Amino acid sequence: MAEVYNWQLGRNMEYPYEEHHSKRQFAAVFNTNRCIACQTCSMACKSTWTFSEGQEYMWWNNVESKPYGGYPANWDSKILSQLAEADPDGQKWSEDGTFDGKTIFEAAPKNERVLGYLPTNAEWRTPNLYEDTSTKYKSSGKLGLADGGAELPAHKAWFFYLQRICNHCSYPACAAACPRNAIYKRPEDGIVLIDQERCRGYRKCMEACPYKKPMYNAQSRVSEKCIGCYPRVEGSDPLTNGHPMETRCMTACVGQIRLQGLVDLNEDGSWKEDRHNPLYHMVKVAKVALPLYPQFGTEPNIYYIPPRWVPREYLTQMFGPGVEEAINAYRAPSRELLAVMQLFRRSQEIVFRYEIEEGPKAYETKVRGEKFTMYNDTVIAYRENGEEIFRTEVEEPVIVRPPERSNAI
């Protein structure tokens, strides 16, 4: 095993291959607070990439209801249990944000590169099992209602929607485990792909990936996975005239919860400072978005704004340290963060840089006892070449239908 640096863990870790990173990294932020589980993202992906024979059970993009839902069933609780068994009482974060436990690479059994398991066929068949199923609550017996009300920060009964695609990890477990070296990261954007010519369908990638995003096609007898819609990211789609474009699941999002882009990397895989890249601002400056199960050690590149109403212990297990700070940053956002979050789903093009033009004060209140002021600033989105894509204000305009068209029927 080589030694590589994982900035999400705050330390070096073991990995089967030497340190090597792409020039840029495909990344995204998902706001779980806004998702309505309409599955438009899932269907956009399905109708684009996985509609052929052998792909009937494939959902490269899925939305599951936590804490009980999962695709495949129980994927996260199983790998968490395996890690706990391999490293009893060791899966902990220190106060400085360093992970002291073992990753799936460091906890791998003898003669194996990665700790994992192969889901059964039955576990793939029910992607929406337990949808909208909440935790239990005490009932008064009257109409099944709970005793007392619910209030933030954490509800007594809760669930939330978790949106998942391939994380295009910086240290992908699928690539580490593949005996055919059929899985690789594109040097230009870090998107993880499977070489269909080299793959022999051994399914070691399915076994190794803790997020279970490689999937086996029984018809073609090779593994397949989310390709990050790389033709769109390359700018090959004619819709944007050669400009890099976000993925199908991102652009189809009804709840406007997704923002995808590209970040520049240092030699050790950490993000180069890019103060006006919206992803850099949310992850590194505002620290409002966190990785999914960073303790697995793969350094995933899809980040989540945690749901405000869920018990913090559960969220810390899922997103690592920094949950409370992220929720506080989202609940009462800074002036800049509020403007940056207006960039979500205003365009299908990738936003490489933003600027903010300050506007007048629009609203003032208190959020959990602290003063909060909202300004109607204008945020401007730019392409990689510096051209403006769009500009939008924090306050959305109110459109009144004219009297002669008061009834649209």
At 377 the pLDDT is: 98
> What token pair was written down for 230?
């790389």
Residue 210 scores a pLDDT above 80:
yes
Letter string b/e over residues 119-141, b meaning 16 or more CB atoms within 10 A of that residue's CB: beeebbeebbbbbeeeeeeeeee
Q: Write the pLDDT tens digit of every residue in 56-96.
A: 999 999 999 999 999 999 999 999 999 999 999 889 999 99
% of residues, the chain, pLDDT over 90 = 89
Strands 302-305 and 361-367: unpaired
pLDDT digits (tens, 9 = 90+) for 257-272: 999 999 999 999 999 9
What average pLDDT does the structure give for the chain?
Answer: 95
Architecture of domain 2-133+155-319: 2-Layer Sandwich (3.30)
Average pLDDT over residues 106-118: 96
The domain spans of the chain are 2-133+155-319
Q: Give mean pLDDT, residues 297-305.
A: 98
CA atoms within 13 A on the CB side of 167: 25
pLDDT above 90: residue 155: no
> Has this prediction a pTM greater than 0.85?
yes
**Cβ partners under 8 Å of residue 230, min gap 6:** 186, 189, 191, 193
Tokens 């990439």 belong to 49
pLDDT digits (tens, 9 = 90+) for 1-39: 899 999 999 999 999 999 999 999 999 999 999 999 999
Determine the average pLDDT of the residues in 286-306.
98
Name the pLDDT band for 409 (thresholds 50, 70, 90). low
pLDDT of residue 144: 67
User: Residue 137 — pLDDT band, cuts 50, 70, 90?
Assistant: confident
Provide CB contacts within 8 A for 287, sequence distance 6+.
322, 325, 326, 329
β-strand pairing of 215-217 with 222-224: antiparallel
- The two structure tokens encoding residue 74: 């129980």
Contacts with 311 (C-beta within 8 Å, 6 or more apart), sequence order: 154, 158
